[in-house]
Structure 1
Amino acid sequence: METVPLRHPPQVVPSSSQALGHQEQLEKPPKQFPTYLDTHNLSPRARILCEILARVAPAEVETAISATGMSPEPEVVEEVIRLSYGCPAAVVTFFRWVGLKQKHSPLSWNLMVDLLGKNKMFEPMWDAIRSMKQEGVLSLTTFVSVFGSYCEAGRFNEAIMTFEVMEKYGVQPDVVAVNSLLSAICREDFQMAKAVEFFQKTKTVIPPDGDSYAILLEGWEKEGNVGKAKTMFGEMVIRVGWSSENMAAYDAFLNTLIQGSEADEALKFLQVMKGKNCLPGLKFFSNALQILIRQNDSVHALSLWDMMVKSGLIPSLIMYNAMIGLLCNNDDIVNAFQLLDSMPFNGIFPDPLTYNIIFQYLITKKKVREAGKFFFEMIKNEQPPTPINSAAAISMFFDRDDPEMALEIWLYMKKEGVSPLDDSANALLNGLASMGRLTELRRHADQMLHTRIKIYESTMEKLKIAFRKEGRNGSDIFDDLDRKWRSS
């Protein structure tokens, strides 16, 4: 097992030129690393070196870079390593070649440790760490990189062992180190048990802070474990108290409750937080509302909305539209209208989507009088109905014996150039046919054909039935209309 070097680290190697001599252990690297081809502001010298490392066989790298005559500055070396994670064998040779000529910067060393770790080359990585200790450039940053590499590889025990040997390498483990390892573990799926086990072991020696609990609560949020989140939150309040600086932890905890269908509990905690001057910001309320909207929970969404607004937070237009849509979906048009009316008082002005959400609801529910009144409010505020809503409204008004309102919508659409007109046009013709208003029907159909509005075949079938009910004269009118339709 590769845990042995961590428990019993080998002797420090004598120089940086020998630190990375395990090329026979290099693995084929992942392909997802960024490269110099992805970067536009790369220095010319770094670009040349990156091209060599990407294209030249590792055994020929030293000859190729020597032929350039370059002696790259530390900044150039850092650029090259950062953009060459995909060719680690070549970078090892390049790094050793540079080390024979000049002292590496601490950042170059850290990048090298990260490159080796991300490519799962852990023995060479530890050789580099031992050389860094010899040169006095080891830091917490180095170990944070190692934590991440081991956890990404699924080797959580090695990551924890790395934490345990930090002090032997001259780096004192502190709460930042604890949080870095917790974060690395929690980034991986379904590893909360391992994270909590490590946390329980270290918290008596290194007191956790708000960030420690935020990381763990975000992990429980990701896993959706309400019970564990409640326990962790309770411990956090006891150990670190209430503070607005711990907002990330509060957000994660509240989101876990809401996602777990415990919105009542979340609202109770919000009241407590408000009393402690720890109420979350607009980002939390926006995310929480999205969850409740997905759950189609208008009751708790309204309660959350009221708390947000009364706390002085101003919802965005997107939030207003989402909330109005939720209320309409739950047949709560009264509160939907109240939200619409309140928007200007918060400096937010409705857009076409706002109006069309409500208009669609009124059409669907066959609310003839309200839909007609609302249509006039829409056009007064220069917020036209969508073509889909217009067609649906025209059909609804004909079905409910209000043809004049249907014609009003059609004439508005034509005048304002709302397009496409096809669905509304066919709705109008079908409505006129159903009411036997054939003179108007013929006039509108002629105009539509003249302006190349598409009349559907299904509509023509209904018109044929309507006209032929009028006898020979009606049949002649339809036949004339049919010829024009076919020729168009």
Structure 2
Amino acid sequence: MAAASTRPVPPIPQSQSQSQSRFPTHLTATDLSPQVRILCEILSTSPVHEVEARLSSTQIQPEPETVHQVLKLSYNSPSVAAKFFRWAGLARKHTGYSWNLMVDLLGKNKLFEPMWDAIRSMKQEGVLTLTTFVSVFENYCVAGRFDEAVMTFDVLERYGIQPDIVAVNSLLSAMCREENKTSKALEFFERIKATIPPDADSFAILLEGWEKEGNVVKAKHTFGEMVIRVGWSPQYMFAYDALLNTLVRGSQADEAIKFLQVMKGKNCLPGLRFFSNALDIFVKQNDSAHAINLWGIMVGGGLVPNLIMYNAIIGLVSNNNDIDNAFRLLDEMVFHGAFPDSLTYNMIFECLIKNRKVNEVGKFFIEMIKNEWPPNPPNFTAAIKMLFECDDPEMATEMWKYMVKNNISPRDDSANAVLIGFCDMVRLSDLKRFAEKMIDERIIIYESTMTKMKNVFYKEGRSARDMYDQILKKWKSSYL
């Protein structure tokens, strides 16, 4: 971002999110010192009125790191945590971090009055920082008390904290993290922006909120104001990504493409992660036209797509029967170091079969086996069936022979497709020869295929019937 220091102040480290009802305890924590474990045991098993006496009996000196660890593991028990905090403070002056942990602990347990008592004590001790109030912002917002979060911001100066853009962004971030509360953040933003000018981070936080809520109209309005106030910069990529994701997910692909073209002209294209996510969305929407436009901007901007992205777009254009783009993308892959795999070839092969491109299917099959990526069994079956239907039995039988020679399995479906193809062409000698060889190789010939063969042979006279009867006898014996 343009100025990293203006991003929201990081929250006090916790090993569990605020959304969970339980907090970590010493029972689940690992690598605790013996002193920390003993103190936590006392806090978890002692009546509140006996806590301080039992702590004193241990003769453990509450070093700052020990206090920090115990407080982090005491969020489930605010009353005994407060007793521990008081006891530890008698032996040694608390660090600012200890005070911040205590404020956060009270806030997360919605004990806001004691929380403010602690803040007032921190002011007297001279250890108040913005980090303390970031915790207050977050805990009020999690509790749904947004007005009080804003009131906290309004009293910062009384506690010696400068209400600067970092504080603004911290409150905006706390609000926007809650479900469907970006409008609340916007209210605060509109009120404060006249006295504390927003920066790129302020807009990025709001845009990420609109993205989460899927509010395209608000996102576009916020972005428009951002461009007017802070201009363009490659450092503002968080904001750009949020806007573009909102547009793409909101079925405003045309708008997203327009923004991308403008961003490209400003040398502000997003990274590969955005393009990958956007491509996934277009694939789910079966939107090949916008995907191709997106791809052109991405590659034209110097970004190098990987094999997964190539397979995604080749699968999409193939699904939409766009054979020209499928081949263009295939030819382009190697120049970007993304070498096609079985999935790449089979998606294009399937598209050629579906569109009954007889000559192209044969040529592409040769290319596939040359590159050691043969068709998968279902595509073999589909290709053989299509080639027979389109009067190219030679290529169909070539594919079958390749399957047999290279022991590609399962191949029962393909075998039956070969036999049905010869049936439809009434090529009885080929039919008999292939059927008998398949039976010898223990390939399953379906009853429906045998029925079709019978009808074809029986229509051709006595000698043809005898040929079928021989096949039938061999077929039945193969199951004995």
Q: Give TM-score scaled by structure 1 length.
A: 0.83
8 Å Cα contact 1:410/1:424 also seen in 2: yes
Cα 1:477–1:383 change in 2 (3 A) is closer
Percent identity over the alignment is 61
Superposed structure 1 runs of 4+ greater than 6 Å apart: none
Tell me the CA shift for residue 128 of structure 1.
2.1
Equivalent residue runs for 1:30-45 within 5 Å = 30-36=20-26, 39-45=29-35
Distance 2:291 2:152 in 1: 46
Decide whether aligned partners of structure 1 residues 375 and 161 sit closer, same or farther in structure 2, where only a CA change above 3 A counts. same
Report if the CA contact (8 A) 2:432-2:467 is conserved: no
For residue 63 of structure 2, the aligned residue among 47, 64, 73 is: 73
Which whole-Å deviations, capped at 9, do the CAs of 1:278-329 have from their partners, x for residues lacking one? 2222222222323333333222222221122122111122211111122112
Give the alignment partner of residue 402 of structure 2, picking from 400, 405, 412: 412
> Is the 1:433–1:441 Cα contact (8 Å) retained in structure 2?
no
- CA–CA separation in structure 1 for the residues paired with 2:57 and 2:364: 78
Residue aligning to 1:213: 203
- CA 1:180 to 1:330, structure 2 compared with 1: closer, same or farther past 3 Å? same
Pairing 1:235–2:262 present: no
Task: Tell me whether 125-134 or 403-412 shows the greater mean CA deviation.
Answer: 403-412
Gaps spanning 5+ residues in structure 1: where? 1-28, 450-454
Seen in structure 2, the aligned counterparts of structure 1 residues 48 and 354 have a Cα distance that, compared at 3 Å, is farther
Q: Given the alignment of the two structures, is residue 482 of structure 1 paired with residue 476 of structure 2, yes or no? A: yes
Structure 1 residue 416: Cα displacement: 4.1
1:111 to 101, 109, 125: 101
Note if contact 1:214-1:248 (Cα within 8 Å) is conserved in structure 2.
yes
Counterparts of 1:173 and 1:363 in 2: how far apart (Å)? 67
For residues 56 and 473 of structure 1, the distance between their equivalents in structure 2, rounded to whole angstroms, comes to: 94
The equivalent residue for 1:277 is 267
Which one-letter code corresponds to 1:478 in the other structure? Answer: L
Partner amino acid for 1:463? Answer: M
Q: Does the CA-based 8 Å contact 2:207-2:223 persist in structure 1?
A: yes
- Spell out, residue by residue over 1:153-203, the C-alpha distance to the aligned partner (whole angstroms, 9 max, x if none): 211111111111122122111101111111111111221221111001111
C-alpha offsets along residues 332-375 of structure 1, whole Å, 9 cap, x if unaligned? Answer: 11011101101111222112221122122122222222122212
> Deviations 1:5-60 (Å, cap 9, x if unpaired)?
xxxxxxxxxxxxxxxxxxxxxxxx95453445555444454345445545666566
1:197 aligned onto 2:183: no
Aligned partner of 1:448 among 439, 442, 453:
442
Aligned counterpart, 1:14: none
**Contact 2:211–2:219 (8 Å) recurs in 1:** yes
What aligned pairs does 1:6-405 form with structure 2 within 5 A after superposition? 30-36=20-26, 39-50=29-40, 53=43, 61-62=51-52, 65-66=55-56, 68-405=58-395
Which amino acid is the alignment partner of residue 307 of structure 1? I
Q: Aligned residues, how many?
A: 451
Closer/same/farther in 2, CA of residues 70 and 345 from structure 1, 3 Å limit? same
Asked whether the 8 Å contact 2:74–2:81 carries over to 1, the reply is yes
Residues 79, 429 of structure 1: CA spacing in aligned structure 2 closer, same or farther, 3 A cutoff?
A: farther
Question: 1:117·1:146 contact (CA, 8 Å) conserved in 2?
Answer: yes
Distance 1:269-1:474 versus aligned 2 partners, 3 A rule: closer
Q: Is the 8 A contact 2:164 2:196 kept in 1?
A: yes
